[in-house]
Amino acid sequence: MKDIINYSCLDSPFGPVFIAKNIRGVCFVNLSKISEARFQSLLRKRFRKDAIRDDKKLKNAIRELSSYFNGHRVNFKSILDLSIGTGFQRKVWEKVSEIPYGELKSYKWIADEIGNPNGVRAVGNAVGKNPVPPIIPCHRVIRSDGKLGGFSSGIALKKWLLRLEK
């Protein structure tokens, strides 16, 4: 059986959200406003596999994300495949996934928690490469001075997600 990437799209309050999974689990969520063709291209480039739309294979993940985007607290249960990340990135993503709904933590806190107190910049880079926002809630990570820092899908969307959780 050929390993493929299945994907789907859901309408969110801020526009289309594309989500993809392989045989191991959800591997990519795109919150940025792009076309379906552009998303397919991103998947081929990132995973080097064929991308086929299959809404049925992603119905549970779509249901979870839709519920979240509509303001409901969700404990995501979708199985994830984070194998695209390095060991360090996966360690950071695991720690970020522990940040409770509605709470904020700093890049420095994450660096300290994973035993790399001088790795704040590396933590920031790993957070920025999170392949499955908001399932791994990288929008809950801010700078130590209280400023928002970056967000791969733009600061406006980070603010929107944080307001959603308040």
Structure tokens, 15? 């526009």
51 burial class (0-12, 13-18, 19+ CB within 10 angstroms)? buried
DSSP assignment of 17-61 equals EEEEEETTEEEEEE-S---HHHHHHHHHHHH-S-EEE-TGGGHHH
Q: How far is residue 5's CA from residue 136's CA, in Å, rounded to a whole number? A: 20
Q: Fill in the DSSP letter of residue 70.
A: T
Q: Is 138 a catalytic residue?
A: yes
Q: Are 47 and 27 in contact (CB under 8 A)?
A: yes
Of 17, 111, 138, 157, the catalytic one is: 138
Angle between helices 87-96 and 120-128 (to 10 degrees): 80
Q: How many CA atoms lie within 13 A of 84 on its CB side?
A: 20
Residues designated as active site: 138
